[in-house]
Amino acid sequence: MKVFLSLSLVLCSGVVSILAVPETASDTAKTNASAQESKVTVEGLVRDIACPIQNLEATATHLSRKCLLACARNGSPLVILTKDGDLYLPISEKMPDQDQRQKLMPFLGKYVRVRGTVYARKGTHAIVITELQELKDVHLTIED
């Protein structure tokens, strides 16, 4: 019985030692890693996020102004929807993040070109906008 208890004690100590091993360099790198970052120019429609996610007929050049305005007025986050269907969520360059709605509201329902830094993570795109201009020569099909 003493041999069994001694062997159990040694085995449990080994398991506790394994569980208490400090983080490796690769574990630390994973937790300190940043999202993929790049400087880009993006063109697309400034709009609410809800409609293009729920309604695949809503594109960067085809929209319902009535729906877009109603969603934006009710607080739906604003995004830039590209012709390829990618969504870019505007973020600030500061942490904690600051609201970008006031910067985008004058461009709601308009096709724009933005320049800035894009952060990508698992298919999600966020952009820190440094330049924003309307592209008036892009034809939009507007209902309502």
Tell me what the pLDDT averaged over the chain comes to.
Answer: 83
Domain hosting 43: range is 35-143
Query: Is 17 within the bounds of a domain?
Result: no
Class of residue 47 by CB neighbours under 10 A (exposed 0-12, middle 13-18, buried 19+): buried
Cα separation, 114 vs 128, in Å, equals 9
Query: Is 127 within the bounds of a domain?
Result: yes
Query: Is 24 within the bounds of a domain?
Result: no
Query: Is 91 within the bounds of a domain?
Result: yes
Residue 23, pLDDT > 70, answer: no
Phi/psi for 36 (5° steps) reads: -65, 130
**In this predicted structure, what is the pLDDT of residue 144?**
82
Residue among 77, 42, 85, 41 nearest 61 (CA): 85
Query: Is 22 within the bounds of a domain?
Result: no
**In this predicted structure, what is the pLDDT of residue 136?**
96
**In this predicted structure, what is the pLDDT of residue 34?**
66
pLDDT in tens, 41-98: 999 999 999 999 998 888 999 999 999 999 999 999 999 999 999 999 999 999 999 9
Residue among 82, 75, 22 nearest 52 (CA): 82
Query: Is 117 within the bounds of a domain?
Result: yes
Place of tokens 């063109």: 43
Number of domains in the chain: 1
Residue 4, pLDDT > 80, answer: no
Residue 81: CB partners within 8 Å, gap ≥ 6?
A: 44, 45, 47, 52, 58, 59, 60, 87
> What CATH number did the domain enclosing 55 receive?
2.40.50
Query: Is 62 within the bounds of a domain?
Result: yes
- Cα dihedral 112, 101, 68, 138, rounded to 10, equals -10
Query: Is 13 within the bounds of a domain?
Result: no
**In this predicted structure, what is the pLDDT of residue 55?**
87
3-state secondary structure of 2: helix
